Amino acid sequence: MKKNIFYMVTTCCGLLLSCLLHAQEKIVQGTYAECQALAKKENKLILIDLYFVGCMPCAEMDKQVFPDPAVVSELKANYILYKTDVMKEIDGKRLARKYGAPGFPTYVIVNPDGKTLLTESGFFGVDRFVPFLKEAVQRSKSELFLAFNNSLDNNYPAAYSERFIKTGEKHDFAELEGYLDQQKDLFCEAAFLANSVTSFPKYNDWVYTHLPQLIKMYGSNLLRNKISAIASKKSKQYGSAQQLDSLESMLTYIRPTFNDKLWDTFLPTFISNYYTSSKDANTYLKLITQFNLYTTWDLRSNAFGQVIIDQAKEPKILNKILAEYQQQQSIGQLDVIDNYRLTLLYYYLKDFKNATKSVQTLLKADLSSSNHSTLKKEILALKDAIDKKNPDLFQAKDIKKIIPFKLS
């Protein structure tokens, strides 16, 4: 069965590649050196696509994005496309090591001489991928290159290299701290790459301090994982100290690390971390509005879930949130979990009349879904507390809506 599944995956990827070959004449299937030679001959940029069989975002890019006419047009005009498997092909492994591929697919754009223009990772919709390709063309014309050298075989520390090219040797990542301690220039490519995959506190601090210069030198792609971890920690610390100014300064400082899509993904985490540590709901609600954190009601409702529980003794906060649920209710937009939260609001506000009506509505709802198995028990316990008119009896859980993940 496993062999059949592997065959199916491999066949599907082969079919996708065949479609790409038909749509895009300049896909090089040979070595990277051959690709470079062709790029020099035709004076075109190289789009390096680092992927592996079984990578779902990679397959979706091949299926949805590369065949799109706008992408095909841009690639035909300005690019040689070089697709290489980071698990099977030595050039793929060397390129992944060279650019510290933090996720897949990873895209690298270089000029005919091998000078690096841009790197990015992850799924890109057509609306983001075409501008990415066009930006690299403009950077090439303006000779705005990143600091990566042209070699695929630099003197990398063994613990870093083993991450991408397996030799069978065992190297503890702790070795990299000693390696970094010995470096006279932490801005050099090999040191930067080694630092990018570690989380040693003093070198995290160094990266944070030198963030603007590092973005200018190497781009933001290799910095996001480290900076998001640092920002998550700092946002909690600022929350504990009630330092809103520090949070806002940090957000401004790290913003260039994230493209628009990823900023929309990470920003809610930083701000919710601040709230979790501060329990300052007024500030949290203001920040949600200020940054337009949640563009759909489902996301916004999920953000309110824990706040409702935390602020059980704060009627002013509860009434602010209640108004939003009542507004959604008036246009018929409340689902089962929304109604659970609405019932909680009435319960905490000691409006037992409306709480009783609301919990009866919940009990009539279809709770047969496996996603609602926990919720049914909660509703029955909540009803008991409402019947007893005891606002302290029920210990609520923050039950989240399941929101489908979207690549684009």
Last residue of a domain, one of 246, 273, 292: 292
Q: Band of the pLDDT at 1, cuts 50, 70, 90?
A: very low
The predicted structure's pLDDT at residue 370: 61
Are 8 and 90 in a shared domain? Answer: yes
6 has a pLDDT exceeding 90: no
**What end-to-end distance do the CA atoms of the chain give, in Å?**
32
Expressed as residue numbers, the domain containing 407 is 294-408
Q: How many domains does the chain have?
A: 4
Are 316 and 390 in a shared domain? Answer: yes
pTM of whole model > 0.85? yes
Sheet with 116-121, strands from edge to edge, namely: 27-28, 79-85, 45-51, 106-110, 116-121
22 has a pLDDT exceeding 80: no
Write down the mean pLDDT value for the chain: 92
Are 9 and 65 in a shared domain? Answer: yes
In a domain, 218, yes or no: no
The predicted structure's pLDDT at residue 167: 87
Last residue of a domain, one of 250, 273, 292: 292
In a domain, 120, yes or no: yes
The predicted structure's pLDDT at residue 369: 75
The predicted structure's pLDDT at residue 47: 99
Are 85 and 189 in a shared domain? Answer: no
The predicted structure's pLDDT at residue 26: 60
| Segment holding 263, helix H or strand E | helix 260-278
Question: What's 76's domain CATH number?
Answer: 3.40.30.10
Are 67 and 88 in a shared domain? Answer: yes
Question: Mind listing the pLDDT tens digit for each residue in 315-361?
Answer: 999 999 999 999 999 998 899 999 999 999 999 999 999 999 999 99
407 has a pLDDT exceeding 90: no
In a domain, 151, yes or no: no
Task: Give percent above pLDDT 90 in the chain.
Answer: 86
In a domain, 256, yes or no: yes
In a domain, 363, yes or no: yes
Are 172 and 277 in a shared domain? Answer: no
In a domain, 180, yes or no: yes
16 has a pLDDT exceeding 70: no
Collapsing DSSP to helix, strand or coil, 302 comes out as: helix
The predicted structure's pLDDT at residue 328: 95
The β-bridge relationship of strands 27-28 and 79-85 is parallel
- Checking 329-338 for CB contacts under 8 A at 24+ apart, the result is 333/297, 335/401, 336/362, 336/365, 336/366, 336/367, 336/372, 336/375, 337/301, 337/375, 337/399, 337/400, 337/401, 338/301
Q: How many CB atoms lie within 10 A of CB 77?
A: 10
Collapsing DSSP to helix, strand or coil, 117 comes out as: strand
Higher pLDDT: 155 or 11? It is: 155
The predicted structure's pLDDT at residue 405: 80
Are 315 and 364 in a shared domain? Answer: yes
Question: Mind listing the pLDDT tens digit for each residue in 167-206?
Answer: 888 888 899 999 999 999 999 999 999 999 999 999 999 9
In a domain, 373, yes or no: yes
Q: Across the strands, what pairs with 85?
A: 51
Question: Mind listing the pLDDT tens digit for each residue in 94-152?
Answer: 999 999 999 999 999 999 999 999 999 999 999 999 999 999 999 999 999 999 999 99
Within a 13 Å sphere around the CA of 127, how many CA atoms are in the beta-carbon half?
4
Are 58 and 131 in a shared domain? Answer: yes
Report the alpha-carbon distance of residue 157 to residue 185 in Å, rounded.
15
Q: Band of the pLDDT at 408, cuts 50, 70, 90?
A: low
Last residue of a domain, one of 292, 310, 332: 292
Are 126 and 255 in a shared domain? Answer: no
Residue count (the chain): 408
The residues, any chain, with a CB within 8 Å of residue 345's CB and separated by 6 or more, are: 308, 318, 321, 322, 325
5 has a pLDDT exceeding 50: no
Phi-psi group of 394: left, alpha or beta (phi > 0 → left; psi -120 to 50 → alpha; rest → beta): beta
Q: Could you give the angle at which helices 90-98 and 32-42 cross, rounded to 10 degrees? A: 70
pLDDT average, residue stretch 58-73: 97
Report the alpha-carbon distance of residue 375 to residue 345 in Å, rounded.
16
In a domain, 146, yes or no: no
Are 335 and 388 in a shared domain? Answer: yes
Higher pLDDT: 6 or 294? It is: 294
Are 135 and 6 in a shared domain? Answer: yes
371 has a pLDDT exceeding 80: no
Are 332 and 372 in a shared domain? Answer: yes
How many degrees, rounded to 5, is the angle at CA 281 between CA 280 and CA 287?
95
The predicted structure's pLDDT at residue 226: 98
pLDDT average, residue stretch 374-401: 94
